[in-house]
Amino acid sequence: MKDLLPTLLTLALALPATTSAAAIHALRAESQSDGCSKTHDWAGQTKEFKLTSDGRERNYRLHLPKNYKNGQRAPLIIAYHGSGGTPEDVEQQMRFSEAGVNADMVVAYPAGVNKNWQGPTYATKGVSDKNFTTDLIASLTSNYCIEPSSIFAAGHSNGGGFVGTLACSPGHGGQFAAFAANSGAFYTDVDGDKRCSPASKLTPFLEIHGTKDDVIPYEPTKDGRGGPLPKIPDLMDRWAVRNACDRENKDVSSPAENVQHISWTCGADSTKGAVQHYRIDGHGHSWAEAKSGVDGTKVFMDFFKQNAKK
């Protein structure tokens, strides 16, 4: 650590004056040692770990994919559970630990403090899950061989909303290559337009939402349990604006009778599908499964693969 200090100071001095402490924090994380020299003999399994972040003990499950090889860089997914949920719940819902679904990406399933994530009023006060996320990524990249340009955020409900919070965070979102949420509990007072400054011009973002969602309604008419909610079409439109997508020519299709898929082409490089939305008619507040019209597991995996380092 000692001989790293001059590097850190140089990096800190090279930053624009407006750079937040959080950005320096992220940078500090990036300059930590690389986990590619470490060896692990448990590919294909999931184990439980602890990590101290902001002086608080945090827990997470970690899945090393079947094809994990020491010294070979692997993508990383961080998957956030819903309010009241657990790492085990989201591991079962998203199925990213099944070799048939995912044999290549490392997956971390962190636990929220009191089973909630930062943002809504019901979350535990004083907890920064943004800091925790940055600390988790730093710990994982220094212990495992992770491809830093292929780190993805996935979440359901409160966890999906927190994925949106990360996407909006200049200091903590830049570590991710893409963001995907299912039944996302987004709150306009947390990451509405005035509080959303993505780290990159292109911030790939995908959301799946049911029109019969009675917890986080598709077109809410009043506040949710955790605060004011956006209309989902408005939220998607804002992501299209932030990503400089062509909003006149969005690609609209119907992959199933009750499903509308909207895909935007975005940014200076006309990136197809950088912003995507699946509206599932008649679907409630639960993980999208093939029987509900959209296989959320496959949609998330395809989106992450599409945004992985080529």
Ligand X SMILES: *[C@@H]1O[C@H](CO)[C@@H](O)[C@H](O)[C@H]1NC(C)=O
Kindly determine how many residues on this chain lie close enough to bind ligand X according to the rule CB under 6 A: 7
Residues 6 or more apart whose Cβ sits within 8 Å of residue 178: 152, 153, 204, 205, 206, 303, 304, 306, 307
Residue 133, token pair as written in the block: 């996320």
Consecutive H or E run containing 280: strand 271-280
Question: Applying CB under 6 A, does 21 fall inside the site for ligand X?
Answer: yes
Q: Closest distance between ligand X and the C-beta of residue 194, in Å? A: 21
Residue among 94, 74, 95, 81 at smallest CA distance from 151 = 74
Question: Applying CB under 6 A, does 128 fall inside the site for ligand X?
Answer: yes
Question: Applying CB under 6 A, does 54 fall inside the site for ligand X?
Answer: yes
Question: Applying CB under 6 A, does 22 fall inside the site for ligand X?
Answer: yes
Question: What backbone torsions phi and psi does residue 50 show, to the nearest 5 degrees?
Answer: -120, 155
As beta bridge partners, residue 152 has 77, 178
- Single residue of 126, 249, 268, 310 touching ligand X by CB under 6 A: 126
How far is the C-alpha of 17 from the C-alpha of 23, rounded, in Å? 11
Residue 2 DSSP one-character state: G
- Cα 153 to its chain centre, rounded Å, is 2
Question: Applying CB under 6 A, does 67 fall inside the site for ligand X?
Answer: no
Question: Applying CB under 6 A, does 19 fall inside the site for ligand X?
Answer: no
Question: Applying CB under 6 A, does 260 fall inside the site for ligand X?
Answer: no
Question: Applying CB under 6 A, does 131 fall inside the site for ligand X?
Answer: yes
Region from 73-81, 124-132, 204-212, 251-259 binding ligand X, contact rule CB under 6 A: 124-132
Q: Closest distance between ligand X and the C-beta of residue 132, in Å? A: 9
* Under 8 Å between Cβ of 38 and 144: yes
Per CB under 6 A, contacts with ligand X among 225-254 are none
As beta bridge partners, residue 50 has 59
Region from 19-27, 63-71, 229-237, 259-267 binding ligand X, contact rule CB under 6 A: 19-27
Question: Applying CB under 6 A, does 25 fall inside the site for ligand X?
Answer: yes
Region from 17-25, 86-94, 151-159, 278-286 binding ligand X, contact rule CB under 6 A: 17-25
Number of H helices, E strands in the chain: 8, 10
Question: What backbone torsions phi and psi does residue 222 show, to the nearest 5 degrees?
Answer: -150, 170
Question: Applying CB under 6 A, does 57 fall inside the site for ligand X?
Answer: no
Question: Applying CB under 6 A, does 101 fall inside the site for ligand X?
Answer: no
Q: Closest distance between ligand X and the C-beta of residue 130, in Å? A: 7
C-beta of 20 vs 72, nearer to ligand X: 20
Binding region for ligand X (CB under 6 A): 21-22, 25, 54, 126, 128, 131
